[in-house]
Structure formats: C-alpha cells, structure tokens
Structure 1
Amino acid sequence: MSVRRLDHLRGRVMEGLAPSARTVSARRPLRSPRRWALSYSPTALAAFVAMFGLAFIAPLGSKGALLFLVAGMGLVATRLGDTLGALRREWLIVLVTLWCVMSFAWSDYTSLTMRHGLQLLLTVMIAVAIGYRVAPLTFIKIVFATSAMAGLASLLFGRDRSDGLGYLGIYASKNALADASSLLIIVALAVLVDRRLSARWRLPAVMGILLGGLLLVMGQSSGALVSTLVVVLFFGVLVLLQRLTPSMRLVAIVLTLVLAGAAGVMLSLISDQLARMFLDLTGKDITLTGRTDLWAIALAEIAERPMLGVGFQAFWVHGQPIAEQLWADFGITTRTGFHFHNTLISNAVEIGVVATAVQTLVFWGALLSCLGWAIRSPSAASVFFALFMARLFLLMWIEVVYFYQFSVATAIIIVAICYGHRFRPGKRPR
C-alpha cells in the first residue's frame, strides 16, 4: 500500500473520530457547590470595634470607652515599633497632648487633669495607629458603618428632650445628636460619590443621607443645620473642581476667592439686618443665648493665666467657683455638658495661648492638606476628610470641636492628620 493511500485512510479515521472528541470536550466538568467564606482583616476588625465603642459611648458609657481602649491598644501592641515610629512622625500633635498631661502640675484639680490627659494621650495613640495601619477606604467604610448603626439606634430607641424642644436620640444632648447625624450625612455623601464602590455600599449611602437628614431636623440644632447645609454646598464645589483640568481649577479657585471677598464686603454692609434675621430664625437673642457673656468671662480667665491656663479640663469641675456660678446663671441643673462655645477660647482657658496656637496650626494644616487631597485625587476618603474638616472649621467659632478624649471627632481629626502626611504629593505612603 502506497504512502499516499495510508495518509488518506488515516485522515478518514481521524475525521470519523472528531465528532466524538468534540462531544467529550464539550462536556463541562462537574463543579463543586460554591462556598461562601468569611474573610476579614484583624487590623480592620480592631479599628471597627474601636470606632464602634466611640460611636456608642453615649449610651454605653464606660463600656464604650473600654471597647475603644481594648481594641485600640490591641492594635497598638501588635506592631508597637511601627506605632512608635508613627508617633515620632506626628510629634507635634503628641507634644501638644503631652502638654495637656503635664498641665496637672499647675492644675487646681491634679488627679482629674492627669486622668483626662492620659485618656487623651491613649486616644491620640490609637488614632495614629489607625491612621498608619488602616487603608483610607477601609476607614471610611468603618466610619459609615458605625455612624449608620448609631443613627438607626437613635431613630429606634431614642428619646425627646424633657422640654419637648428637640430630639436626643441615644445621646445626652441635641447638639451631640446633630453632630452624629451630620457625620453620617458627610460620610454617606463621600461613599456615594466614589464610583469604585459597588451598589452594596452606594445604595445604603443614599439611605444614610436620608436617615441623617431626618435626625438632623428632629434634633432642631440650628448651628448643625446651617453648617451641614454649607458643607453640602461645598461638596458640590468639590465635585465641580474634580471635573476641571488643573489650570481651570486654579482659575476657578481664584475666582471663588474673589467672589467670596466681594460677597463678604457686601454682607458686611447689611450685617445688622442679617444678624437680626438669623436671630429671628433660630430663636436666639442678641447674645447668642449667652455666648457673648461666656466669652467675656473666658477672656478674663485667659488674661489671668495666658501661658499655662488652668489645666486640661480643670475649669468645668464641680466645686470650681466660677463654673458653679455659670451653671446657676444658665440654669444647668445637671452641671455637665457645658462649655465656652468657642474652641480657641475654651482651649486657651485650659492649656494657655501658646499650646492652643499649636493646636490650631495642626488643625488648619490638616484642613488644607485634606482639601488639596480631595481636589488632587478625589475618592471617598479624600472627599470625606475635606468635608469633615470644613464642617469643624465652621463650627469651631461657636462650639468646642477638638481635642478631647474618647471623641469620634478627635479620632477622625488625628487620622486625617496622618493621612495628610502619608499622601502628600510626591510622597509614597508609609
């Protein structure tokens, strides 16, 4: 048989086998049932428990603080060397915190100042550990989850004020509820704008905005309502800037500053009418419900001890003569939850002018860093920190917003400072 004949027969045999081979290859192998596996990061879990403790510290009290300390110090201890290195890099905020601790030496309430100062130091240490070990997007998810849980708890298990002038939720005051509600709105907006996040995050973010808005209105806090509205408008400006080229951003920012200056001059001409309108809308008197009287007393205290202050959290103390008189004058029967309604003035009373100036420098530096980060690299994290810091900047003139122990706001500010240093232009994140 010729070679050509053998090749022909071999081709016929292979042609006959081809359909069955295709049939075999077309059969899909049996797949095992899909298994759902729960994966988690111990670092993220510890950060979540810590922030959960702070978010629920109002109803849980010391148990919430204990949750924060156990989870947070566990985070610090697992990589102590890295945490100490991060604290060295954030030496300025650590220095101010140590000043608060050392103020026990000249405080009239030594043990109280030392205890609160050490609590602030632990809060700063844990927040720095979170800022250097938790990814920004993970931290935003944690803040959103804990804020949403606190919002739901306030709606389902909250209560009204005894005088009927506002809703308290799970908090001790309507201002605390308003701050938590505003935080929920801000973080939900940041999550909603990040297109990298899936619908399982963005849809709850819409619900978070509605829930936060509802609680904000129920709380009837005029300052929180106004500041949140301004922040939402600022959010629109950030979104617009993100869509422009770098050169157009610069032009837009310059034009905005010019227009803002012109608007400031025009508004100053009708300041009396605007002040009267604001007071009518908010129901406050010309002293802003006694704030101007408080400021006068605080400035007198600063004049007596301008460099050292009275000691960290050593003014609003039971038995302190001026504090007792102010509580009586303003009808604060609980003798708690009262302050000078101005961050710079209040902090200067406690720790002196120089330390307050350093605090302010740190805070404003973090504010500018977060704004630049949001414009340069928009994301859920950068937008959130920019909005959060902008809101605190608006409130610091009429409220006390930093730095104090076991506080969600203080923890977020410290984390913002860390992220601002880690994600500066041309610098690789640590």
Structure 2
Amino acid sequence: MAETMPAVSPMTARRPARQQRRRVLSYSPNAIAAFIAIFGLTFITPLGSKGALLFLLGGMALVATRPGEVLASLRREWPIVLVALWCVMSFAWSDYTSLTLRYGIQLVLTVTIAVAIGYRLAPMTFVKIVFATSAMGGLASLLLGRARSDGMGYLGIHASKNALADASSVLIIASLAVLVDRRLSMRWRLPALAAMFLGAVLLVMGQSSGALVSTMAVILVFGVIILLQRLTPYMRLVTIALAVVLGAAIAMLLSSLSDELARLFLDVTGKDITLTGRTDLWAVAFGQIAERPLLGVGFQAFWVPGQPLAEQLWADFGIAGRSGFNFHNTLISNAVEIGILATAAQALIFIAAAWACLGWAIRSPSAASVFFALFMVRLFMLMWIEVVYFYQFSAGTAIIIAAICYTHRFRDHIGKPVPRRARRPIRITFR
C-alpha cells in the first residue's frame, strides 16, 4: 500500500515557520482574582454588599491558594496588622460593640487581602488593574451617574462628590503613570490618554476644590520626580534642601496674607472660610479625645445613629441622611475612634510608606513607582482636611497597603548582592 502524505496548501507551504506557530492567549489566575477584588471595591457603592462579596471572593481565592505564603507576608507587615487588630479589640470598650466588632473584622480582611495582592502580583500588574477598574468606574459615572439633589456637584456612581473626586483623581494618576512609561505599548498608552481626559472631566463636574488642588499638586510633584531622577545623588540633596527653604519662605509669605487669601478662597469657591465648619467639628473632636485619649470611643463608634453628639452635629450641619460625614481630618478623626497611640502608629506607617514610594519613584521610575508615589503624596495633602485611611472595604486603603508591600519588596530587591560578573553601572530611565 502506498503511503499517503497529508495535503498541504500552497499558501501554508510558503509561510515562514515562525508564522505557522499558534498564538496562545496566556492569563494569570492571580491577576484575575485581584481584578475581581479591586473591581468589587471600585463599584462597591452601586453594588453594595455584592461589591464587598466580589472583593472577598477574589481576595480569599488568593489567600486560599497559598495560605502559608500569605501568613508569612502578614508577619512581614506586622505593624499594619497590629493596627487592624487594635481596631477589632476596641469593641471591648466601644458603646456600639457589634458595629465595632463587625467593622474591625472587615478591616482585618481588607488588610489580609491587600497584603496577599501586594506580595502575589507584580507592581505593574496591580497598576494595570487599578487603571482598568478606575476607567470602567469613570465610564459608568459619566454614562450612568447622577447629580446631587441640590444641584451642587455631580455624584456619578458614588455616594458623595468627594468620593467621585477621589475616584477621578486615582484615574488621572493611574493614567498619567501609564502614559509616561515608554516601556508600555501603545495599546495601553492611548487608552490612558483618553482616560486622563475622562478623569479630568469628572473631577471638574464633581466641583471638589480640595480634589482639584491636590490633583494639580501631584502633577507638579511628578515633574519634580522626573527632575530628581536625572540628577546625581549629591545634586538631589542640594535640590531638596533648596526646595525646603523655598517652601518655608512661601509658607511664611502665605501666613502673612492669610486674611486676603481666605477672602479670595471664599469668593472663588463659595465655601465657608472655616472649611465647611471644620473648626467647630474639631472642637467637639478634641473634647472626645480629652475624655478617652488612649483608647478612643471604639472603631467607627462615633458617627452612629443614636449617638448624642453625632446626632447634634448632623442636626447643626443639616445632614438629613445622617451618613457620609466625618471630622475632616484623618489624625483627629482616628484619634477619636482608636486613641492617640494607635493613631500615631497609623500616621507613622503611612508617612514612612509615602516617603519610601517617593524614593522608589526617584531611584527606579516606572508606571508602578510613579503611580504609588503620586497616590501617596495626594493622600498626604488631603489627610489634613479629609479622612483618608484606614477603613474597611476601601479601594484607597487597599492601594495604601499594596504600596507598603511593594516598597518593601523593592527595598529587598535593591539590597540583594549583585554577582561579581554582573556588577556594571546601571542608569534607570524611562524607555
């Protein structure tokens, strides 16, 4: 019997061997699980408990696949874990035991999942996920969102205009980081350009003065990061010293013109000179801190319906819904709830992470390092007039914790000894 050969078409025969190879679509189970988790946090306001469930499902999938690895990572990040456990333990002296216990456990879960993401995903993968989910949230806010009932600002898919402003700022920062990294292909950078424009539109529609100012400030910080990266270590030190002196001089000048600037701020924004009555809020908060300086009233146990002082403040400020209100200062608000010592520990963790992110961005600029640096700088600016950390089922809290993990991983990486043959001068630049 004659042996037959398989038929080959003339077109196939002429193709080079490289073109005949099949294209394989690769995916990462870790990235898919993390995307589900971050997507749930991004859309937690419209989805409600379903958004929290998505976050838990995606996050716990990461934890369950390698529990030993996650446990080791949590031991590495013991300061933030200890702070979260303190929030849980505050149920023992809280006036609202069940609420504090529930929210504290949710915070511990948020920390656990964020640490798992920070040690299982590459920084660039995390930033791409944040960019994608933020862009989806921005599109949903533009197409399906709503304005406030009083017409003072746009809410999008969020519960408040400040929440919309925060989400829009994250979208702008992520888009900027992706756009300027030349190592990424155009299929990422072109959508980033459109997403940056979308974020800017939503930021203006939200009419949040603080968010506008802070976002413009982080863009300026981005320029400083690029400048410092191009300088020698000695010139960086000189430049930073000169910037500190210049900043002090500007602060002294602004303090001498405080009355004129306050009137100008009132005319431009239409807001109260005392920043929406924050001085009155802070007076009440200081009274609460004086009564319980070490322990606080319990994690998230102040702004609770039925709490006498909270009810009085809601009535004074006309907050009919009795929600979405706070002391408009991270340190003051957290000191009321968990005491001075725990608040100081939180502040130390956050400021150290912000400083480490800046160092990472200067020494090794990339979409990931720039994103985390700008994100942390923006929160540092806002922490004096808003509450920015740490609370449960929050995308912002998850990003902060991921930033802490990634800076530790970066520090470990640069601390490893380099083989003798590979010791060559290296200059890290945008490519």
User: TM-score scaled by structure 1?
Assistant: 0.91
Q: Output the CA distance in 2 between the equivalents of 1:28 and 1:247.
A: 60
Q: How many residues align?
A: 403
Q: Output the CA distance in 2 between the equivalents of 1:210 and 1:286.
A: 31
Q: Deviations over 1:117-140 (max 9, x none)?
A: 000000000000011110000000
What is the aligned partner in structure 2 of residue 24 from structure 1? none
Superposition map of 1:70-219 within 5 A: 70-219=57-206
Superposition map of 1:43-62 within 5 A: 43-62=30-49
Q: Output the CA distance in 2 between the equivalents of 1:29 and 1:171.
A: 53
Q: Output the CA distance in 1 between the equivalents of 2:298 and 2:415.
A: 38
Alpha-carbon deviation of 1:208?
1.1
The 8 Å contact of residues 228 and 391 in structure 1, kept in 2 or not, is answered as yes
Structure 1 stretches lacking a partner, 5+ long? 1-26
Alpha-carbon deviation of 1:237?
1.1
Alpha-carbon deviation of 1:365?
0.4
What is the aligned partner in structure 2 of residue 427 from structure 1? 415
Give yes or no for the alignment of 1:328 onto 2:327. no
What is the aligned partner in structure 2 of residue 364 from structure 1? 351
Q: Deviations over 1:271-306 (max 9, x none)?
A: 221122122222112322111100000010000000
Q: Deviations over 1:18-65 (max 9, x none)?
A: xxxxxxxxx845767664432100001101110000000010000000
3-state secondary structure, aligned to 2:392: coil
Q: 2:290 aligns with which of 303, 315, 320?
A: 303
RMSD of aligned alpha carbons? 1.5
Q: Deviations over 1:353-412 (max 9, x none)?
A: 000000000000001000100001101111111100000000000000000000000000
Matching residue's letter, 1:92: P
Give yes or no for the alignment of 1:66 onto 2:43. no
Q: Deviations over 1:221-270 (max 9, x none)?
A: 11111111111111111122222233322222222112111211222221
Give yes or no for the alignment of 1:240 onto 2:227. yes
Matching residue's letter, 1:298: A
The 8 Å contact of residues 153 and 170 in structure 1, kept in 2 or not, is answered as yes
Give yes or no for the alignment of 1:222 onto 2:209. yes
Structure 2 stretches lacking a partner, 5+ long? 1-12, 418-431
Q: Output the CA distance in 2 between the equivalents of 1:251 and 1:287.
A: 37
What is the aligned partner in structure 2 of residue 415 from structure 1? 402
Give yes or no for the alignment of 1:342 onto 2:302. no
Matching residue's letter, 2:94: S
Q: Output the CA distance in 2 between the equivalents of 1:125 and 1:404.
A: 13
Give yes or no for the alignment of 1:284 onto 2:271. yes
User: TM-score scaled by structure 2?
Assistant: 0.91
The 8 Å contact of residues 189 and 205 in structure 1, kept in 2 or not, is answered as yes
3-state secondary structure, aligned to 1:424: helix
Alpha-carbon deviation of 1:325?
1.0
Matching residue's letter, 2:332: I
Matching residue's letter, 1:384: F
3-state secondary structure, aligned to 2:411: coil
> Which stretches of structure 1, 4 residues or longer, exceed 6 Å deviation after superposition?
none
Q: Deviations over 1:157-205 (max 9, x none)?
A: 1111111111110011111000000000001111111111010011111
Matching residue's letter, 1:137: M
Give yes or no for the alignment of 1:375 onto 2:375. no
What is the aligned partner in structure 1 of residue 240 from structure 2? 253
Change in 2 beyond 3 A, CA 1:329/1:245: same
The 8 Å contact of residues 265 and 273 in structure 2, kept in 1 or not, is answered as no
3-state secondary structure, aligned to 1:172: coil
Query: Which sits farther off after the overlay, 310-319 or 268-277?
Result: 268-277
Alpha-carbon deviation of 1:427?
2.7
Change in 2 beyond 3 A, CA 1:428/1:76: farther
Q: Output the CA distance in 1 between the equivalents of 2:182 and 2:119.
A: 25
- Identical aligned pairs, as a percentage? 75
Q: Output the CA distance in 1 between the equivalents of 2:175 and 2:250.
A: 31
Q: Output the CA distance in 1 between the equivalents of 2:249 and 2:58.
A: 50
Q: Output the CA distance in 2 between the equivalents of 1:414 and 1:181.
A: 20
3-state secondary structure, aligned to 2:300: coil
What is the aligned partner in structure 1 of residue 425 from structure 2? none
Matching residue's letter, 1:171: H
Matching residue's letter, 1:240: L
3-state secondary structure, aligned to 2:155: strand
The 8 Å contact of residues 155 and 169 in structure 1, kept in 2 or not, is answered as yes
The 8 Å contact of residues 422 and 428 in structure 1, kept in 2 or not, is answered as no
Q: Output the CA distance in 2 between the equivalents of 1:273 and 1:81.
A: 59
The 8 Å contact of residues 317 and 323 in structure 1, kept in 2 or not, is answered as yes
Q: Output the CA distance in 1 between the equivalents of 2:213 and 2:38.
A: 26
Q: Output the CA distance in 2 between the equivalents of 1:322 and 1:258.
A: 43
What is the aligned partner in structure 1 of residue 260 from structure 2? 273
Q: Output the CA distance in 2 between the equivalents of 1:415 and 1:30.
A: 45
